[in-house]
Amino acid sequence: MAGIPNPFGGQDVRFDGYDEFVPEHLPEPDAFLRGGTILAGRRHAAFHRVTRACFEERGVYDATFGYNLARLNLDPRHPEAGYRYAEESPDVLRATFTPTTPFCPQTHTLTLGSFRAWNGLAERHEYDLVRVRAAESHNESERINDALADLEEEYRETGELPDSAPDFGHRA
């Protein structure tokens, strides 16, 4: 584990390493993932290292914690939050993001950024498509996931990431 100083005093936080798979520091796979082969062990860690690089290049950062979103998986203070993955087929990966709270206002932005990072940098991994969803525990998951499904469909049809952001159905 790599430590970082705690800006609020007290003990340093010891993050898990990117080469480690610590299931007790990860959310349980949800229904979306159970439709495929759950990545665990070395396979999870390997894809998560790719995730870190893709998110770094595309700026997928958690504004609350001020770090690359991939690091949330390694933060033992939030064992029920982060990404889990499942292989749907040899060419398609499913990814579910579980935020730290069921009302996290960043979830739509973070899942959209994740989709764009993984699919916009597809040459970095072995999948033709990474399907992204917000965990069902999020209060806006249905709306967010409908918009992500629309984005995914457009990407499958065109092979291009749309220039405009999907409508997440937020009320004005």
Contact 81, 118 (CB under 8 A): no
Contact 146, 169 (CB under 8 A): yes
List Cβ neighbours of 39 (8 Å cut-off, separation of 6 or more): 47, 84, 85, 86, 87
pLDDT tens for each residue of 80-91: 999 999 999 999
Is residue 141 situated within a structural domain? yes
Please give the model's pTM, rounded to 2 decimal places.
0.88
Is residue 7 situated within a structural domain? no
Is residue 5 situated within a structural domain? no
Contact 58, 39 (CB under 8 A): no
Cα gap 55→40, rounded to integer Å: 20
Number of domains in the chain: 1
Is residue 165 situated within a structural domain? no
94: which strand partners? Answer: 86, 131
Higher pLDDT, 169 or 108: 108
pLDDT score of 50:
97
Nearest to 36 by CA among 74, 76, 91: 91
Is residue 69 situated within a structural domain? yes
Is residue 1 situated within a structural domain? no
Type of residue found at 85: Y
Domain interval for residue 135 = 16-158
Is residue 10 situated within a structural domain? no
Is residue 75 situated within a structural domain? yes
Query: Can you tell me the mean pLDDT for 116-127?
Result: 97
